[in-house]
Copies of this chain bind each other. A is one copy, B any other.
Protein backbone atom coordinates (compact mmCIF):
# COMPACT_ATOMS: atom_id res chain seq x y z
CA UNK A 1 0.00 0.00 0.00
CA UNK A 2 1.28 3.42 -0.85
CA UNK A 3 -0.27 6.85 -0.76
CA UNK A 4 0.42 9.48 -3.40
CA UNK A 5 -0.38 13.08 -2.54
CA UNK A 6 -1.50 14.21 -5.94
CA UNK A 7 -1.11 17.93 -6.68
CA UNK A 8 -4.48 19.14 -7.82
CA UNK A 9 -6.87 21.87 -6.77
CA UNK A 10 -10.17 20.09 -7.26
CA UNK A 11 -11.26 16.95 -5.56
CA UNK A 12 -13.64 16.00 -8.33
CA UNK A 13 -11.02 16.57 -11.03
CA UNK A 14 -8.65 14.45 -9.04
CA UNK A 15 -10.84 11.43 -8.82
CA UNK A 16 -11.83 11.65 -12.48
CA UNK A 17 -8.17 11.88 -13.44
CA UNK A 18 -7.36 8.54 -11.86
CA UNK A 19 -7.79 5.37 -13.83
CA UNK A 20 -9.75 2.54 -12.32
CA UNK A 21 -6.65 0.51 -11.59
CA UNK A 22 -4.95 3.41 -9.86
CA UNK A 23 -8.04 3.83 -7.70
CA UNK A 24 -7.97 0.20 -6.76
CA UNK A 25 -4.34 0.71 -5.83
CA UNK A 26 -5.14 3.21 -3.11
CA UNK A 27 -8.30 2.63 -1.10
CA UNK A 28 -7.34 5.56 1.14
CA UNK A 29 -8.51 7.92 -1.58
CA UNK A 30 -11.98 6.57 -2.23
CA UNK A 31 -14.77 6.48 0.34
CA UNK A 32 -15.50 2.84 1.06
CA UNK A 33 -18.73 0.90 1.19
CA UNK A 34 -21.10 2.11 3.95
CA UNK A 35 -22.28 -0.14 6.81
CA UNK A 36 -24.80 -2.77 5.81
CA UNK A 37 -27.42 -5.14 7.14
CA UNK A 38 -25.17 -8.16 6.61
CA UNK A 39 -21.42 -8.43 6.35
CA UNK A 40 -19.74 -9.92 3.34
CA UNK A 41 -16.84 -12.16 2.46
CA UNK A 42 -13.96 -10.53 0.60
CA UNK A 43 -14.21 -11.26 -3.13
CA UNK A 44 -10.59 -12.38 -2.86
CA UNK A 45 -11.54 -15.18 -0.46
CA UNK A 46 -13.51 -18.07 -1.85
CA UNK A 47 -13.40 -20.94 0.61
CA UNK A 48 -15.61 -23.73 -0.63
CA UNK A 49 -16.76 -27.13 0.39
CA UNK A 50 -16.39 -29.97 -2.10
CA UNK A 51 -19.78 -31.49 -2.74
CA UNK A 52 -20.59 -34.98 -3.94
CA UNK A 53 -24.12 -36.34 -4.37
CA UNK A 54 -24.35 -37.14 -0.68
CA UNK A 55 -21.84 -35.00 1.20
CA UNK A 56 -19.78 -31.84 1.12
CA UNK A 57 -16.40 -31.43 2.77
CA UNK A 58 -15.02 -28.61 4.92
CA UNK A 59 -11.86 -26.95 3.54
CA UNK A 60 -9.83 -27.69 6.68
CA UNK A 61 -6.59 -26.54 5.08
CA UNK A 62 -8.01 -23.04 4.59
CA UNK A 63 -9.28 -22.54 8.13
CA UNK A 64 -7.80 -21.09 11.32
CA UNK A 65 -8.52 -21.76 14.97
CA UNK A 66 -11.37 -23.98 16.08
CA UNK A 67 -14.66 -22.54 14.81
CA UNK A 68 -15.95 -23.61 11.40
CA UNK A 69 -17.89 -20.85 9.63
CA UNK A 70 -21.45 -22.18 9.47
CA UNK A 71 -21.63 -22.07 5.68
CA UNK A 72 -18.49 -24.21 5.54
CA UNK A 73 -19.77 -26.84 7.97
CA UNK A 74 -19.58 -30.24 6.32
CA UNK A 75 -22.74 -31.81 4.98
CA UNK A 76 -23.83 -35.41 4.86
CA UNK A 77 -27.42 -36.23 4.23
CA UNK A 78 -29.44 -39.11 2.88
CA UNK A 79 -32.38 -37.39 1.26
CA UNK A 80 -31.17 -33.86 0.64
CA UNK A 81 -31.84 -30.77 2.71
CA UNK A 82 -35.55 -30.32 3.43
CA UNK A 83 -37.24 -26.92 3.52
CA UNK A 84 -38.98 -26.75 6.89
CA UNK A 85 -41.32 -23.98 7.98
CA UNK A 86 -40.41 -23.32 11.62
CA UNK A 87 -43.95 -22.26 12.50
CA UNK A 88 -45.20 -25.69 11.43
CA UNK A 89 -42.37 -27.57 13.07
CA UNK A 90 -43.25 -30.02 15.84
CA UNK A 91 -41.26 -32.52 17.86
CA UNK A 92 -43.15 -35.57 19.11
CA UNK A 93 -41.84 -37.63 22.04
CA UNK A 94 -43.63 -40.90 22.80
CA UNK A 95 -43.14 -44.59 23.53
CA UNK A 96 -41.95 -45.47 27.04
CA UNK A 97 -42.86 -42.13 28.56
CA UNK A 98 -45.48 -41.15 31.14
CA UNK A 99 -46.84 -38.43 28.95
CA UNK A 100 -46.42 -38.43 25.16
CA UNK A 101 -45.87 -34.82 24.16
CA UNK A 102 -45.62 -32.41 21.25
CA UNK A 103 -43.30 -29.41 21.32
CA UNK A 104 -43.26 -26.48 18.93
CA UNK A 105 -40.00 -24.69 18.23
CA UNK A 106 -41.15 -21.89 20.54
CA UNK A 107 -41.81 -24.46 23.28
CA UNK A 108 -38.30 -25.87 22.95
CA UNK A 109 -36.77 -22.41 23.19
CA UNK A 110 -38.58 -21.74 26.49
CA UNK A 111 -36.77 -24.53 28.33
CA UNK A 112 -33.45 -23.86 30.05
CA UNK A 113 -30.80 -23.73 27.38
CA UNK A 114 -27.23 -24.89 27.13
CA UNK A 115 -24.41 -24.01 24.74
CA UNK A 116 -21.24 -25.85 23.93
CA UNK A 117 -18.50 -25.77 21.36
CA UNK A 118 -18.05 -29.28 20.02
CA UNK A 119 -17.01 -31.07 16.88
CA UNK A 120 -19.26 -33.11 14.66
CA UNK A 121 -17.76 -35.80 12.46
CA UNK A 122 -19.06 -38.34 10.01
CA UNK A 123 -17.82 -41.80 10.97
CA UNK A 124 -17.07 -42.42 7.29
CA UNK A 125 -14.49 -39.64 7.39
CA UNK A 126 -11.46 -41.15 5.72
CA UNK A 127 -9.93 -41.07 2.28
CA UNK A 128 -6.48 -41.85 0.97
CA UNK A 129 -4.76 -41.28 -2.34
CA UNK A 130 -2.15 -42.98 -4.44
CA UNK A 131 -0.54 -39.96 -6.05
CA UNK A 132 -0.40 -37.95 -2.81
CA UNK A 133 -2.37 -35.09 -4.31
CA UNK A 134 -5.06 -34.93 -1.70
CA UNK A 135 -5.89 -32.18 0.75
CA UNK A 136 -7.05 -32.38 4.37
CA UNK A 137 -10.46 -31.50 2.94
CA UNK A 138 -10.57 -34.81 1.07
CA UNK A 139 -8.81 -36.87 3.73
CA UNK A 140 -11.03 -35.90 6.64
CA UNK A 141 -13.12 -32.87 5.69
CA UNK A 142 -16.23 -34.50 7.10
CA UNK A 143 -15.55 -32.86 10.44
CA UNK A 144 -16.41 -29.36 11.56
CA UNK A 145 -16.98 -27.48 14.78
CA UNK A 146 -19.67 -25.09 15.95
CA UNK A 147 -21.04 -23.60 19.11
CA UNK A 148 -24.35 -25.44 19.52
CA UNK A 149 -27.20 -24.14 21.65
CA UNK A 150 -30.39 -25.90 22.60
CA UNK A 151 -32.21 -27.65 25.39
CA UNK A 152 -30.64 -30.61 27.16
CA UNK A 153 -32.39 -33.79 26.05
CA UNK A 154 -32.53 -34.75 29.74
CA UNK A 155 -34.83 -31.76 30.31
CA UNK A 156 -37.20 -33.04 27.64
CA UNK A 157 -36.91 -36.57 29.06
CA UNK A 158 -38.01 -35.26 32.45
CA UNK A 159 -40.84 -33.25 30.95
CA UNK A 160 -42.26 -36.30 29.20
CA UNK A 161 -41.44 -38.60 32.08
CA UNK A 162 -39.19 -41.14 30.43
CA UNK A 163 -39.64 -44.57 31.96
CA UNK A 164 -36.70 -45.87 34.00
CA UNK A 165 -37.03 -49.04 31.92
CA UNK A 166 -36.37 -47.27 28.62
CA UNK A 167 -32.90 -48.12 27.36
CA UNK A 168 -32.94 -46.87 23.76
CA UNK A 169 -34.68 -44.16 21.83
CA UNK A 170 -35.35 -43.73 18.18
CA UNK A 171 -34.45 -40.32 16.75
CA UNK A 172 -36.26 -39.62 13.51
CA UNK A 173 -35.70 -36.80 11.04
CA UNK A 174 -38.24 -34.95 8.95
CA UNK A 175 -36.20 -35.16 5.76
CA UNK A 176 -36.96 -37.23 2.66
CA UNK A 177 -34.94 -40.11 4.12
CA UNK A 178 -36.96 -39.86 7.35
CA UNK A 179 -33.57 -40.64 8.88
CA UNK A 180 -33.69 -42.90 11.89
CA UNK A 181 -31.14 -43.96 14.45
CA UNK A 182 -31.41 -45.78 17.77
CA UNK A 183 -29.54 -44.08 20.57
CA UNK A 184 -28.94 -45.36 24.12
CA UNK A 185 -31.06 -43.49 26.63
CA UNK A 186 -28.03 -42.87 28.85
CA UNK A 187 -26.64 -40.46 26.26
CA UNK A 188 -29.84 -38.48 26.61
CA UNK A 189 -29.40 -38.26 30.38
CA UNK A 190 -25.72 -37.49 29.94
CA UNK A 191 -25.00 -34.69 27.46
CA UNK A 192 -27.29 -34.89 24.42
CA UNK A 193 -28.80 -31.61 23.22
CA UNK A 194 -31.89 -30.82 21.21
CA UNK A 195 -30.10 -28.04 19.34
CA UNK A 196 -31.70 -25.09 17.58
CA UNK A 197 -28.73 -22.75 17.23
CA UNK A 198 -25.30 -22.96 15.66
CA UNK A 199 -22.59 -20.34 16.07
CA UNK A 200 -25.02 -17.85 17.57
CA UNK A 201 -27.79 -18.04 14.97
CA UNK A 202 -30.47 -20.52 14.01
CA UNK A 203 -29.07 -23.86 12.86
CA UNK A 204 -28.45 -23.79 9.13
CA UNK A 205 -30.74 -25.93 6.92
CA UNK A 206 -27.81 -28.16 5.98
CA UNK A 207 -27.20 -28.87 9.68
CA UNK A 208 -30.81 -29.65 10.59
CA UNK A 209 -32.90 -26.47 10.69
CA UNK A 210 -34.88 -25.87 12.77
CA UNK A 211 -33.86 -28.60 15.26
CA UNK A 212 -31.34 -31.42 15.36
CA UNK A 213 -30.16 -33.96 17.86
CA UNK A 214 -26.63 -33.23 19.00
CA UNK A 215 -24.67 -36.04 20.65
CA UNK A 216 -21.29 -34.65 21.71
CA UNK A 217 -18.44 -36.88 20.54
CA UNK A 218 -20.69 -39.36 18.73
CA UNK A 219 -20.72 -40.18 15.03
CA UNK A 220 -22.45 -37.59 12.85
CA UNK A 221 -25.21 -39.82 11.48
CA UNK A 222 -26.65 -40.44 14.95
CA UNK A 223 -26.98 -36.67 15.46
CA UNK A 224 -30.28 -36.81 13.58
CA UNK A 225 -31.07 -33.57 11.75
CA UNK A 226 -34.50 -32.04 11.18
CA UNK A 227 -35.57 -34.00 14.26
CA UNK A 228 -39.31 -34.63 14.27
CA UNK A 229 -39.77 -37.58 16.60
CA UNK A 230 -38.27 -39.37 19.58
CA UNK A 231 -39.61 -42.79 20.58
CA UNK A 232 -38.49 -44.38 23.82
CA UNK A 233 -38.11 -48.18 23.87
CA UNK A 234 -36.32 -51.04 25.60
CA UNK A 235 -34.32 -52.23 22.60
CA UNK A 236 -32.71 -50.68 19.54
CA UNK A 237 -34.87 -50.40 16.43
CA UNK A 238 -32.30 -51.85 14.02
CA UNK A 239 -32.80 -49.22 11.36
CA UNK A 240 -31.08 -49.43 8.02
CA UNK A 241 -28.48 -46.80 9.06
CA UNK A 242 -27.35 -48.87 12.06
CA UNK A 243 -27.24 -52.21 10.26
CA UNK A 244 -26.59 -51.94 6.55
CA UNK A 245 -24.65 -48.69 7.06
CA UNK A 246 -22.53 -47.22 9.84
CA UNK A 247 -21.32 -50.65 10.92
CA UNK A 248 -17.82 -51.93 10.28
CA UNK A 249 -16.19 -55.28 9.69
CA UNK A 250 -13.70 -55.95 12.47
CA UNK A 251 -12.31 -59.31 11.44
CA UNK A 252 -13.36 -62.88 12.18
CA UNK A 253 -16.46 -62.28 10.11
CA UNK A 254 -17.80 -59.93 12.74
CA UNK A 255 -19.47 -56.59 12.14
CA UNK A 256 -19.33 -53.93 14.84
CA UNK A 257 -22.59 -52.18 15.48
CA UNK A 258 -23.59 -49.10 17.50
CA UNK A 259 -20.04 -47.81 17.41
CA UNK A 260 -20.97 -44.27 18.36
CA UNK A 261 -17.86 -42.76 19.87
CA UNK A 262 -15.50 -40.99 17.51
CA UNK A 263 -11.94 -42.08 18.23
CA UNK A 264 -9.27 -39.44 18.80
CA UNK A 265 -7.77 -37.96 15.69
CA UNK A 266 -5.62 -35.15 14.35
CA UNK A 267 -4.32 -33.85 11.08
CA UNK A 268 -1.64 -31.37 10.14
CA UNK A 269 -3.42 -28.78 8.01
CA UNK A 270 -0.28 -26.73 7.41
CA UNK A 271 1.89 -27.58 5.69
CA UNK A 272 -0.30 -29.96 3.72
CA UNK A 273 -1.04 -30.55 0.06
CA UNK A 274 -1.27 -28.30 -2.00
CA UNK A 275 0.85 -25.84 0.03
CA UNK A 276 4.49 -25.27 -0.86
CA UNK A 277 6.85 -24.22 1.89
CA UNK A 278 10.28 -22.66 2.19
CA UNK A 279 13.31 -23.65 4.18
CA UNK A 280 13.59 -22.05 7.61
CA UNK A 281 11.08 -21.70 10.40
CA UNK A 282 7.74 -23.34 9.79
CA UNK A 283 4.84 -23.32 12.20
CA UNK A 284 3.26 -26.74 11.78
CA UNK A 285 -0.46 -26.30 12.41
CA UNK A 286 -3.33 -28.67 12.74
CA UNK A 287 -6.44 -29.71 14.57
CA UNK A 288 -7.02 -32.53 17.03
CA UNK A 289 -10.15 -33.93 18.64
CA UNK A 290 -11.55 -36.87 20.53
CA UNK A 291 -15.08 -38.12 21.05
CA UNK A 292 -14.02 -39.42 24.46
CA UNK A 293 -13.25 -36.07 26.05
CA UNK A 294 -10.46 -33.54 25.96
CA UNK A 295 -7.36 -33.73 23.85
CA UNK A 296 -4.63 -34.10 26.42
CA UNK A 297 -1.64 -33.97 24.10
CA UNK A 298 -0.72 -33.75 20.43
CA UNK A 299 2.61 -35.16 19.37
CA UNK A 300 4.30 -34.10 16.18
CA UNK A 301 7.08 -35.88 14.36
CA UNK A 302 9.22 -34.19 11.73
CA UNK A 303 11.46 -37.20 11.12
CA UNK A 304 9.04 -39.79 9.79
CA UNK A 305 8.00 -40.98 13.25
CA UNK A 306 11.45 -41.60 14.73
CA UNK A 307 11.02 -38.93 17.39
CA UNK A 308 7.99 -37.03 18.63
CA UNK A 309 7.61 -33.64 20.21
CA UNK A 310 4.74 -32.12 22.12
CA UNK A 311 2.82 -29.46 20.23
CA UNK A 312 1.30 -26.37 21.83
CA UNK A 313 -2.47 -26.64 22.28
CA UNK A 314 -4.57 -23.52 21.81
CA UNK A 315 -6.62 -22.77 24.92
CA UNK A 316 -9.40 -23.34 25.71
CA UNK A 317 -9.08 -27.11 25.31
CA UNK A 318 -12.70 -28.24 25.50
CA UNK A 319 -14.42 -31.56 26.02
CA UNK A 320 -15.18 -33.32 22.69
CA UNK A 321 -14.00 -30.33 20.76
CA UNK A 322 -11.56 -29.61 17.99
CA UNK A 323 -8.40 -28.14 19.48
CA UNK A 324 -5.90 -26.23 17.36
CA UNK A 325 -2.30 -27.32 17.82
CA UNK A 326 0.93 -25.69 16.69
CA UNK A 327 4.52 -26.77 16.56
CA UNK A 328 7.40 -24.55 15.59
CA UNK A 329 10.03 -26.27 13.51
CA UNK A 330 13.13 -25.30 11.61
CA UNK A 331 13.33 -27.08 8.27
CA UNK A 332 16.73 -27.41 6.67
CA UNK A 333 15.35 -28.38 3.27
CA UNK A 334 16.01 -32.12 3.56
CA UNK A 335 13.07 -34.22 2.33
CA UNK A 336 11.23 -35.70 5.30
CA UNK A 337 7.88 -36.87 6.62
CA UNK A 338 5.80 -34.94 9.12
CA UNK A 339 2.86 -36.30 11.09
CA UNK A 340 0.78 -35.70 14.19
CA UNK A 341 -1.05 -37.91 16.65
CA UNK A 342 -3.55 -37.08 19.36
CA UNK A 343 -3.53 -38.53 22.84
CA UNK A 344 -6.85 -37.96 24.59
CA UNK A 345 -7.60 -37.71 28.27
CA UNK A 346 -8.47 -41.41 28.47
CA UNK A 347 -4.99 -42.31 27.23
CA UNK A 348 -6.09 -43.31 23.72
CA UNK A 349 -3.29 -42.74 21.22
CA UNK A 350 -4.25 -42.07 17.60
CA UNK A 351 -3.05 -45.15 15.69
CA UNK A 352 -1.19 -45.65 12.45
CA UNK A 353 -3.09 -47.11 9.52
CA UNK A 354 -1.31 -50.42 9.98
CA UNK A 355 -2.38 -50.69 13.62
CA UNK A 356 -5.97 -50.02 12.61
CA UNK A 357 -5.90 -52.64 9.88
CA UNK A 358 -4.37 -55.16 12.30
CA UNK A 359 -7.02 -54.46 14.90
CA UNK A 360 -9.83 -54.87 12.38
CA UNK A 361 -8.85 -57.96 10.47
CA UNK A 362 -7.51 -56.01 7.55
CA UNK A 363 -10.74 -54.11 7.00
CA UNK A 364 -11.16 -50.43 6.38
CA UNK A 365 -14.52 -48.70 6.84
CA UNK A 366 -16.20 -46.47 9.36
CA UNK A 367 -14.23 -45.07 12.31
CA UNK A 368 -10.98 -44.99 10.42
CA UNK A 369 -8.78 -42.41 12.14
CA UNK A 370 -5.17 -43.15 11.19
CA UNK A 371 -2.23 -40.80 11.59
CA UNK A 372 -1.87 -38.72 8.43
CA UNK A 373 1.66 -38.50 7.13
CA UNK A 374 2.79 -35.72 4.81
CA UNK A 375 5.86 -36.11 2.64
CA UNK A 376 7.86 -32.91 2.36
CA UNK A 377 9.89 -32.81 -0.84
CA UNK A 378 13.17 -30.99 -1.16
CA UNK A 379 11.47 -28.33 -3.25
CA UNK A 380 8.96 -27.61 -0.50
CA UNK A 381 6.02 -29.39 -2.10
CA UNK A 382 3.89 -31.42 0.31
CA UNK A 383 2.27 -34.73 -0.60
CA UNK A 384 -0.02 -37.10 1.28
CA UNK A 385 1.88 -40.25 2.11
CA UNK A 386 -0.45 -42.36 4.23
Q: In the assembly, what is the distance between CA of A28 and CA of B226, in Å?
A: 10
Is there an interface contact between B210 and A72, defined as CB atoms closer than 8 Å? no
Q: Does A205 contact B (CB under 8 A)?
A: yes
- Which of A195-203, A232-240, A244-252, A355-363 touches B? A195-203
CA distance A80 to B205 in the complex (A): 32
**Which residues of A83-123 have CB atoms within 8 Å of chain B's CB atoms?**
83-90, 110-115, 117
Task: Count the copies.
Answer: 2
Instruction: Map CB proximity to B onto A36-70 as digits: 1 under 8 Å, 0 otherwise.
Output: 11111111110111111111100000111111111
> Is A318 interfacial (CB-CB < 8 Å)?
yes
Complex contact B52–A48 (CB within 8 A): no
B285 touches A32 (CB 8 A): no
A176 vs B33: C-alpha distance in the bound complex, in angstroms?
10
A6 contacts B by Cβ under 8 Å: no
Q: Which of chain B's residues have a CB closer than 8 A to the CB of A138?
A: none
Inter-chain contact B36/A49, CB cutoff 8 Å: yes
Contact A56 B83 (CB under 8 A): no
In the assembled complex, the Cα of A54 lies from the Cα of B285 at a distance in Å of 38
Q: Does A253 contact B (CB under 8 A)?
A: no
Q: Is there a chain B Cβ closer than 8 Å to A207's Cβ? A: yes
Give the docked Cα–Cα distance between A84 and B26 (Å): 9
Question: How far in angstroms is the closest Cβ of chain B from A73?
Answer: 6
A206 interface hit (Cβ, 8 Å) = yes
User: B49, A38: Cβ atoms under 8 Å?
Assistant: yes
| 15 more A-B residue pairs beyond the given contacts A33-B205, A65-B197, with a C-beta to C-beta distance below 8 A | A1-B90, A28-B82, A28-B175, A32-B83, A34-B51, A35-B52, A35-B76, A35-B77, A36-B206, A37-B51, A39-B73, A62-B201, A69-B70, A112-B283, A113-B326
